C-alpha cells in the first residue's frame, strides 16, 4: 500500500497545541461571562445589602420590601398585569396558532406575517400609537365616539390598568402564537391518523391528541407572557405612570430620579422581580423537561389541513383581530401623525407635511446619531451574542472541558433577569473606577449582549444538536484536528442557522428599551431611549416620525439579512436547515 | 504494519460493563465482521478503535504502534483509521468531490496527486460521474458510496465500517454487500465491519467475531462459525438453531426432562453440568404421535404438542412445545399438516445434534 502522506500514522501528537487553543477559547468565554453576567449581578446583591444614607451594611432595604406600602403596591400591580397579560396572550395566541397551523383558513400567511410584525414592534411604540388612538380627550377613537349620538364622554381611557393590560397583551400574543404554532406544525400526522383510524372525528382528534401534545408549549407561552407582563418597562411607563399606578419596573426607575438616587434600595427592589421570573422559568423547565416538546416530529409531509367550510371567513376575521389592533391600526396612526403638521387637527391635505422626517434626518443631530448608535450597537451586540453563545454551546455540547455546564448555566442565566434589573446591575458595576464605562458604547453593547445571550445560546444549541456528531467524527478520522474540524465542518454547517440566530437577537436588541434605560448619555442615546425621552416633550408628531424610522430601519436589516442568507445557502442545503422564529425564546 | 491487535480491552461506566476484556487480532489485509445483537458493545468497540472513546483497560495496537490504553491515546486524526458511519455522515455542505477530497487536502497532497486519488476513489465506488453533486441530490446508496470513497481515498491503515448497510433498502443492501467485498479486495485495506445481520457478515468477511454483552463469543471463518458454533448463543444467533437446555450425562449425552438425547459433544462439560443441545430447525423431523413408542434405539426422539404451524410456501414452520418450558421450531415439508395442540413425535438425528457449552458460563 502507498504511504499515507504527511499525516503518516504514528506521528507524535502535538497535544500541547490542542490544549492551548482549547484552553484559550474556554478561558475567553469564561471571562466574558464573568464580566457580562456575574459581575453586574454580584453588584446588585452587594448593593442591596447596603444603606443608601450611611453606606454601611444593612438589611433595611429588604425589610422595607415587606413593610413599606409604596413598595408593596407596585408588586401587586405587576403581578396583576402579568397574570392578565398571560391569560389574554394564551386566549388569543392559541386559537390563532391553531387556525394558522392546522386549518384551511384563508390568509394564513398574512396573519403569520402580521403577527411577526407585532413581534418586531417595540411595545412602547405600540403604546404611543394607542395613546394617540385612545387617550381620554384627544384620542382619535374617543373623538369619533363623542360624535356618535348620545355619547358625550370618552369611550376609552388608555391611561389605566385595563389599557396597559390590553396594550401589553397584544404585543405578547406573538410569543404564545409562535411557540404553539411551531409545535402544532411539527406534530406527526401519524399520531393524528392513529386517532382517526380509531374512529375519532377531526375535532375530537384535535381536542384529545393535538392539543394535549401542544399543551407544554401552551404553558410555556403562558409563562413567557407572564414574565413579559411583569418585566415590561415601556408600556407601564407610558400608560400607567400618568395614571399614578406604579408597577415594579417603573418604581425602580423612580429610585434613580430621587436626589440623591436610591441606588442601594433599588438593588434590593430588583430581588422580588428576579425571584418571580426565576420561579416562572423553573416551573417552565420542569414542565418542558419531562415531555420534550417539538421532538414529536415525524416525516416531513404535507399536512392535511382541517376544513373549516363556511367558518373559513369568520375564522379569518377573528384571527385578524390581534393583527389589526397590534399592527394595522397603530401603524396607520403612526404614519398619519408623523405626516401631520399637528395631529390634533386630524387628517386633511393641508395638514400633510414631510417636516418631521426632514427634521429627524437633517436638522436634528440627535436622531441621526441615535439611529447610527442603534444600528451599530445592535449589530455589534448581536454579533457578540452569536459568537459567545456558539462558543459556549460548543464547549457544553461537545464536553470540551470539565464543568462546561457551568458556563452554559451562566450563558442562559440572563433570561430570568428583567431588563430593568440588568440595567441596575450594569449601572452599579460599570460606572465607577476601575471599570468606568459610563457613557461609552462598550457598556451599551455589553448590556445588550448580556440580555440576549440566552436566546443566542439556546438557538446555537438547537443548531448544534441538529448536526450529528458523526459529521465531525468523520473529519477527525480523516486526519483533521479539533480546530480544523470546527472550521471546515461544524461552522459552515451552522452558518445558515447562525445567520437566522443573528437576526433573532438583532430584532429584540434594536427594539430594546429597558436594559439601557439607566445607562444612556446624550452621546450614546439609541432610538428607543430617544423616543422614550421625547415623550415627555409631548411632540407626538416627531416621536411618530422617529418610531416609523426605527421600524423601517429594522425592516430593512431583516430583508437584507434574509437576502444574504438565501444567497449563502443556495442549493446545497435546500431545505436542510429550517429555523423557526423564536426558537431561542421558546 | 496494519495488523490490528486488541488485548484485554475493557470499557465500563461505573458498574456497567460495556466491554469485558476483548482479545482480538485482525490480520493485515483481512476483513473481519464484528457481529452481535444490538447493545452487545460492537459499535462501542468501533468507537474505541477509531479513538473517539478511551478504554478503561486493555490496549489497542495497529502494527507496532499502541493507539489506545487507559493511560494514553493517539487522537483520531493521527491514527490513520477511516470510519464509515451508519448514517453515512456525508457533509451536506460539500459536493461529492469536496467530500472525498477533504482528507487528501488535510494531507496537503500536490494537486495532481490529489486529482488522481480523488478520481481513483470515486471510480472504485463507481461515482465518478457525480463528482459535482451535493449529497442532498443523491440516493441513500450513492451517499453510502461517497462515505466509502471518502474513507478509502486517504488510503488508511485500517477501515472501519459501522453497520454501513442498515439504512439501505433490502435490494440495495444485497448489492452493496458484494460491492464492499469487491472494494476490499481491490484496496486490500485491513477492515473491521460491524453489523447485526449475520448474512451480511457471512458474505463479506474473512473472519467473523461474534460479540454478546461485551464478551467475545467466537472468532472464526464464516463456514466454521456456522458449522461449529462455540456455544449456545452463537448457535442460536448465527444458525437460528434450536437450543435445548439439559443436564450433561456423560460424553455426547444430554438429559432433557425424561428424555435422553445424544449428539456430537463440543461442550467439555463434566456430568451434571447444564449444557445445550443445538439443532437447526430444518434438520428436525416431525410425525404425528400415533401411539408409537418414544426413545427408539436408532435416534433422538421427543414427545411434544404443536403450538402453532405456519405455511411459508417452500416449507412449513412448526413450533412445538416439548414440556419443561422449552419449545423447538421445525421446518418441515409443506405437505405435512399439523393442527394446533396436536400431539407429535419430534426426531432429532444424532448426526445433526451438537452438545455445546452455555455462553452464560463465560458471562460476568
- pLDDT tens digits, A519-575: 999 899 999 999 888 887 778 888 899 999 998 998 899 888 888 877 776 544 433
- pLDDT tens digits, A309-346: 888 999 999 999 999 999 999 999 999 999 988 777 77
Query: pLDDT tens, position by position, for chain B (364 residues)?
Result: 689 999 999 999 888 889 999 999 999 999 999 999 988 889 899 999 999 889 999 999 999 999 999 988 898 889 999 999 888 889 988 899 999 999 999 888 999 999 999 999 998 888 889 999 988 888 888 898 999 999 989 989 999 999 888 877 788 888 888 888 888 998 899 999 999 888 888 888 999 999 999 999 999 999 999 999 999 999 999 888 999 999 999 888 999 888 899 999 998 888 889 999 999 999 999 988 765 554 444 578 898 999 999 999 899 999 999 988 899 999 999 999 899 999 999 999 999 999 999 987 544 4
* Inter-residue contact A324 to A141 (CB < 8 Å): no
Most B CBs within 10 Å, among A1, A7, A300, A477, to test the B interface: A477
CA angle B183, B187, B193 (to 5 degrees): 60
Contacts of A572 in chain B (CB under 8 A): 92-93, 95, 134, 136
- How deeply is A363 buried, as exposed, middle or buried, from its count of CB atoms within 10 A (0-12, 13-18, 19+)? exposed
Q: Which CATH superfamily is domain A15-48+354-586 in?
A: MetI-like (1.10.3720.10)
CA angle A409, A412, A418 (to 5 degrees): 130
Measure the CA–CA gap between B32 and B44, rounded to whole angstroms: 16
Task: Please answer yes or no on whether A10 and B65 come within 8 Å at the CB atom.
Answer: yes
Measure the CA–CA gap between A254 and A284, rounded to whole angstroms: 31
In chain B, residues under CATH classification 3.40.50.300 are 4-227
Name residue B66's beta-bridge partners.
B61
* Inter-residue contact B63 to B69 (CB < 8 Å): no
- How deeply is A67 buried, as exposed, middle or buried, from its count of CB atoms within 10 A (0-12, 13-18, 19+)? exposed
- In whole angstroms, how large is the CA radius of gyration of chain B? 25
Residue B115 neighbours by CB distance under 10 Å: 14
Backbone dihedral region of B82: left (phi > 0), alpha (psi from -120 to 50 degrees) or beta?
A: beta
Peptide bond before residue A230 is cis, with ω within 30 degrees of 0: no
Task: Please answer yes or no on whether A471 and B154 come within 8 Å at the CB atom.
Answer: no
Most B CBs within 10 Å, among A9, A497, A565, to test the B interface: A9
Task: Please answer yes or no on whether B92 and A573 come within 8 Å at the CB atom.
Answer: yes
What 8-state DSSP symbol labels residue A58?
A: -
* pLDDT at site B160: 94
Measure the CA–CA gap between B205 and B203, rounded to whole angstroms: 6
Does B4-227 carry CATH code 3.40.50.300?
Answer: yes
* pLDDT at site A293: 42
Residue of chain A nearest B66, judged by CA positions: A10
Task: Please answer yes or no on whether B74 and A4 come within 8 Å at the CB atom.
Answer: no
In this structure, of A145-159, A493-507, A510-524, B303-317, the range with the lowest mean pLDDT score is A145-159
Residues of B with CB under 8 A from a CB of A: 2, 50-52, 62, 65, 74-83, 85-87, 89, 91-93, 95, 102-104, 106-109, 134, 136, 147, 150-151, 154-157, 160, 188-189
Which strands make up the sheet holding B253-256, listed edge to edge?
B259-262, B253-256, B242-248, B274-279, B354-356, B264-265
The mean pLDDT value for A282-292 works out to 70
Q: Is the pLDDT of residue A6 over 60?
A: no
As a dihedral over the C-alpha atoms of residue A27, residue A28, residue A31, residue A37, rounded to 10 degrees, the angle is -120
Task: Please answer yes or no on whether A9 and B85 come within 8 Å at the CB atom.
Answer: no
Task: Please answer yes or no on whether A573 and B93 come within 8 Å at the CB atom.
Answer: yes
- How deeply is A236 buried, as exposed, middle or buried, from its count of CB atoms within 10 A (0-12, 13-18, 19+)? buried
Residue A445 neighbours by CB under 8 Å, 6+ apart: A377, A380, A381, A384
Record the pTM: 0.79
DSSP track, A289-318:
HHS--STT--S--PPPPBP-GGGHHHHHHH
Helix (H, G, I), strand (E, B) or coil at A565: helix
A479 vs chain B: nearest CA distance in angstroms?
4
Measure the CA–CA gap between B5 and A560, rounded to whole angstroms: 57
Residues of A with CB under 8 A from a CB of B: 1-11, 13, 15, 18, 468, 470-471, 473-481, 484, 488-489, 492-493, 495, 571-574, 576
DSSP track, A425-488:
HHHHHHSSTTS--TTSHHHHHHHHHHHHHHHHHHHHHHHHHTS-HHHHHHHHHTT--HHHHIII
CATH class of the structural domain B232-362? mainly beta
What are phi and psi for residue A53, nearest 5 degrees?
A: -80, -45
* pLDDT at site B66: 93
| Among candidate residues A111, A161, A158, A115, the one with its CA nearest the CA of residue A138 | A158
Contacts of B112 in chain A (CB under 8 A): none
Q: Is the pLDDT of residue A576 over 50?
A: no
Residue B8 neighbours by CB distance under 10 Å: 13
- pLDDT tens digits, B119-163: 999 988 888 899 999 888 888 888 989 999 999 899 899 999 998
Nearest to B107 among A6, A471, A488 (CB): A6
- pLDDT tens digits, A203-254: 777 777 777 888 888 988 899 899 989 999 999 999 999 999 999 999 988 8
In chain B, residues under CATH classification 2.40.50.100 are 232-362
Q: Is the pLDDT of residue A451 over 80?
A: yes
Measure the CA–CA gap between A418 and A278, rounded to whole angstroms: 10
Measure the CA–CA gap between A379 and A381, rounded to whole angstroms: 6
* % residues pLDDT > 90 (chain A): 35
What are phi and psi for residue B58, nearest 5 degrees?
A: 90, 180
Residue of chain A nearest B159, judged by CA positions: A477
Measure the CA–CA gap between A78 and A232, rounded to whole angstroms: 9
What are phi and psi for residue A412, nearest 5 degrees?
A: -95, -5
Query: What are the CA-CA distances from residue B212 to residues A148, A350, A534 (Å)?
Result: 86, 89, 75
In chain A, residues under CATH classification 1.10.3720.10 are 15-48+354-586, 62-342
Helix (H, G, I), strand (E, B) or coil at B19: strand
A158 vs chain B: nearest CA distance in angstroms?
53
Q: Distance between the two ends of chain B, CA-based, in angstroms?
A: 34
CATH class of the structural domain A62-342? mainly alpha
B30 vs chain A: nearest CA distance in angstroms?
14
Grid cell, residue B215, equals: 464478551
Amino acid at each position: 500500500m502507498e504511504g499515507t502522506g504527511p499525516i503518516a500514522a504514528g506521528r507524535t501528537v502535538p497535544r500541547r497545541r490542542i490544549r492551548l487553543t482549547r484552553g484559550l477559547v474556554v478561558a475567553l468565554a469564561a471571562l466574558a461571562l464573568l464580566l457580562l453576567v456575574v459581575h453586574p449581578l454580584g453588584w446588585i446583591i452587594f448593593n442591596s445589602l447596603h444603606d443608601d444614607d450611611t453606606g454601611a451594611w444593612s438589611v433595611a432595604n429588604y425589610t422595607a420590601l415587606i413593610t413599606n406600602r409604596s413598595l408593596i403596591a407596585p408588586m401587586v400591580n405587576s403581578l396583576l398585569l402579568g397574570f392578565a397579560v398571560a391569560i389574554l396572550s394564551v386566549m388569543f395566541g392559541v386559537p390563532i396558532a391553531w387556525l394558522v397551523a392546522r386549518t384551511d383558513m384563508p390568509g394564513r400567511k398574512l396573519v403569520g406575517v402580521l403577527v411577526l410584525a407585532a413581534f418586531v414592534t417595540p411595545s412602547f411604540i405600540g403604546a404611543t400609537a394607542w395613546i394617540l388612538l385612545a387617550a381620554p380627550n384627544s384620542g382619535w377613537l374617543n373623538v369619533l365616539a363623542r360624535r356618535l349620538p348620545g355619547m358625550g364622554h370618552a369611550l376609552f381611557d388608555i391611561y389605566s390598568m385595563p389599557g396597559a393590560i390590553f396594550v401589553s397583551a397584544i404585543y405578547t400574543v406573538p410569543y404564545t402564537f409562535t411557540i404553539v404554532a411551531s409545535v402544532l406544525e411539527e406534530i406527526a400526522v401519524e399520531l393524528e391518523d392513529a386517532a382517526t383510524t380509531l374512529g375519532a372525528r377531526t375535532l375530537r382528534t384535535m381536542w384529545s391528541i393535538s392539543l394535549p401534545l401542544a399543551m407544554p408549549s401552551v404553558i410555556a407561552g403562558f409563562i413567557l407572557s407572564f414574565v413579559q407582563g411583569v418585566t415590561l418597562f415601556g408600556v407601564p411607563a407610558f400608560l400607567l405612570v400618568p395614571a399614578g399606578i406604579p408597577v415594579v419596573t417603573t418604581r425602580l426607575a423612580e429610585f434613580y430620579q430621587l436626589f440623591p438616587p436610591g441606588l442601594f434600595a433599588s438593588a434590593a427592589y430588583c430581588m422580588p422581580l428576579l425571584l418571580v421570573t426565576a420561579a416562572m422559568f423553573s416551573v417552565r423547565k420542569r414542565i418542558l423537561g419531562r415531555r420534550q416538546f417539538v421532538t414529536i416530529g415525524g416525516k416531513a409531509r404535507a399536512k392535511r389541513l382541517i376544513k373549516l367550510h363556511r367558518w373559513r371567513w369568520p375564522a379569518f376575521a377573528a384571527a385578524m383581530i390581534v393583527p389589526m389592533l397590534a399592527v394595522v391600526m397603530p401603524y396607520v396612526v403612526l404614519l398619519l401623525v408623523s405626516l401631520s403638521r399637528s395631529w390634533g387637527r386630524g387628517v386633511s391635505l393641508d395638514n400633510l407635511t414631510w417636516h418631521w422626517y426632514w427634521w429627524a434626518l437633517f436638522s436634528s443631530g440627535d436622531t441621526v446619531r441615535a439611529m447610527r448608535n442603534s444600528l451599530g450597537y445592535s449589530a455589534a451586540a448581536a454579533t457578540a451574542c452569536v459568537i459567545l453563545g456558539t462558543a459556549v454551546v460548543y464547549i457544553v455540547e461537545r464536553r470540551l472541558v470539565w464543568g462546561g455546564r457551568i458556563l452554559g448555566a451562566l450563558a442562559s442565566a440572563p433570561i430570568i433577569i428583567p431588563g430593568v434589573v440588568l440595567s441596575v446591575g450594569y449601572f452599579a458595576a460599570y460606572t465607577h473606577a476601575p471599570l468606568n464605562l459610563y457613557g461609552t458604547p462598550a457598556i451599551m453593547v455589553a448590556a445588550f449582549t448580556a440580555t440576549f445571550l440566552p436566546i443566542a445560546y439556546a438557538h446555537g444549541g438547537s443548531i448544534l444538536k441538529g448536526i450529528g456528531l458523526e459529521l465531525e467524527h468523520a473529519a477527525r478520522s480523516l486526519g483533521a484536528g479539533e480546530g480544523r474540524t470546527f472550521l471546515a465542518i461544524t461552522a459552515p454547517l451552522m452558518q445558515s442557522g447562525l445567520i437566522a440566530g443573528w437576526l433573532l437577537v438583532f430584532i429584540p436588541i434594536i427594539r430594546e428599551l429597558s436594559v439601557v434605560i439607566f445607562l444612556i448619555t446624550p452621546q450614546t442615546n439609541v432610538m428607543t431611549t430617544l423616543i422614550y425621552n421625547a415623550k415627555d416633550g409631548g411632540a407626538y408628531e416627531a416621536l411618530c416620525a422617529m418610531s416609523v424610522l426605527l421600524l423601517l430601519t429594522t425592516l430593512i436589516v431583516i430583508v437584507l439579512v434574509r437576502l444574504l442568507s438565501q444567497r449563502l445557502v443556495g442549493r446545497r442545503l435546500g431545505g436542510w436547515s429550517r429555523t423557526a422564529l423564536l426558537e431561542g425564546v421558546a | 504494519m496494519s495488523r490490528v491487535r486488541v488485548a484485554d480491552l475493557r470499557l465500563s461506566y461505573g458498574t456497567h460493563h460495556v466491554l469485558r476484556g476483548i482479545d482480538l487480532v485482525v490480520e493485515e489485509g483481512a476483513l473481519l465482521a464484528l457481529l452481535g445483537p444490538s447493545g452487545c458493545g460492537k459499535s462501542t468497540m468501533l468507537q474505541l478503535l477509531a479513538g473517539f472513546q478511551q478504554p478503561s483497560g486493555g490496549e489497542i495496537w495497529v502494527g507496532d504502534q499502541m493507539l489506545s490504553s487507559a493511560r494514553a491515546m493517539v487522537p483520531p486524526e493521527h491514527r490513520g483509521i477511516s470510519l464509515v458511519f451508519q448514517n453515512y455522515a456525508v457533509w451536506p455542505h460539500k459536493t461529492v468531490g469536496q467530500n472525498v477530497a477533504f482528507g487528501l487536502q488535510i494531507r496537503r497532497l500536490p494537486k495532481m496527486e490529489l486529482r488522481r486519488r480523488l478520481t481513483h476513489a470515486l471510480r472504485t465506488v463507481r461515482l465518478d460521474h457525480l463528482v459535482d453533486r451535493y449529497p442532498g441530490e443523491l440516493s441513500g446508496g450513492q451517499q453510502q458510496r461517497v462515505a466509502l470513497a471518502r474513507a478509502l481515498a486517504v488510503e488508511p491503515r485500517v477501515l472501519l465500517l459501522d453497520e454501513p448497510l442498515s439504512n439501505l433498502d433490502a435490494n440495495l443492501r444485497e448489492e452493496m454487500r458484494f460491492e464492499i467485498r469487491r472494494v476490499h479486495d481491490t484496496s486490500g485495506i485491513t477492515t473491521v465491519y460491524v453489523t447485526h445481520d449475520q448474512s451480511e457478515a457471512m458474505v463479506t468477511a474473512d473472519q467473523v467475531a461474534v460479540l454478546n454483552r461485551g464478551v467475545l463469543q467466537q472468532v472464526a471463518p464464516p463456514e466454521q462459525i456456522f458449522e461449529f458454533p462455540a456455544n449456545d448463543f452463537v448457535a442460536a444467533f448465527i444458525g437460528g438453531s434450536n437450543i435445548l437446555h439439559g443436564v450433561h450425562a456423560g460424553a455426547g449425552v444430554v438429559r432433557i426432562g425424561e428424555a435422553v438425547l445424544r449428539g456430537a459433544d463440543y461442550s467439555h462439560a463434566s456430568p451434571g453440568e447444564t449444557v445445550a443441545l443445538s439443532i437447526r430447525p430444518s434438520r428436525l423431523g416431525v410425525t404425528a404421535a400415533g401411539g408409537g413408542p418414544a426413545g427408539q434405539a436408532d435416534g433422538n426422539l421427543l414427545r411434544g404438542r404443536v403450538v402453532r404451524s405456519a405455511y411459508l410456501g417452500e416449507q412449513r414452520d412448526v413450533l412445538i412445545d416439548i414440556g419443561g418450558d422449552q419449545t423447538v421450531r421445525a421446518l418441515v415439508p409443506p405437505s405435512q399438516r399439523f393442527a394446533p395442540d396436536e400431539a407429535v413425535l419430534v426426531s432429532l438425528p444424532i448426526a445433526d445434534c451438537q452438545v455445546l457449552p452455555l455462553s452464560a458460563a463465560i458471562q460476568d
